[in-house]
Amino acid sequence: VQLVESGGGSVPAGGSLRLSCAPSGFSVDRNAIAWFRQAPGTEREGVACINNRPGNTYYTDSVKGRFTISSDNAKNTVYLQMNSLKPEDTAVYYCAARYSLSEKWYCLAGEYDFWGQGTQVTVSA
């Protein structure tokens, strides 16, 4: 399984970016995908998670109302639309995937088996 991320970059505060995660050898349909981020000196944080078994989503409080995770099963791709970006959103963003065994949220790093290489998001003040 390989996860290919794209869409990172540098934007001013208030700007938007859309990250994409396209797994190979893994179907996003009826499975779980999440976006994590890690800034220097911090732990990896679950930002947005989707379990396509029923289509549940979860967002960490700091991104609610600004970020949207979505899944295009036909393209086998998961997106993270990030709006109203803030300097504190600056981090390396990682896509992660796992097989879904139930309808629960999976939003802890230890729950995921497959990881992308990460993409840098930098938001300037």
Q: What is the pLDDT of residues 93-108, one digit of tens each?
A: 999 999 988 888 889 9
pLDDT at 85 over 90: yes
Average pLDDT on 102-115 reads 91
Measured distance CA(84)–CA(9) in Å, rounded: 15
The sign of the CA dihedral 99, 101, 102, 105 is negative
Q: Which residue has the higher pLDDT, 104 or 119?
A: 119
Burial of 36 (C-beta count, 10 Å sphere; 0-12/13-18/19+) = buried
Which pLDDT value is given to residue 38? 97
Measured distance CA(61)–CA(23) in Å, rounded: 27
Q: Which residues pair with 32 in a beta bridge?
A: 51, 98
pLDDT at 21 over 90: yes
Which pLDDT value is given to residue 40? 92
Average pLDDT on 60-76 reads 97
- Phi then psi dihedrals of residue 36, to 5 deg: -115, 160
pLDDT at 39 over 90: yes
pLDDT at 71 over 90: yes
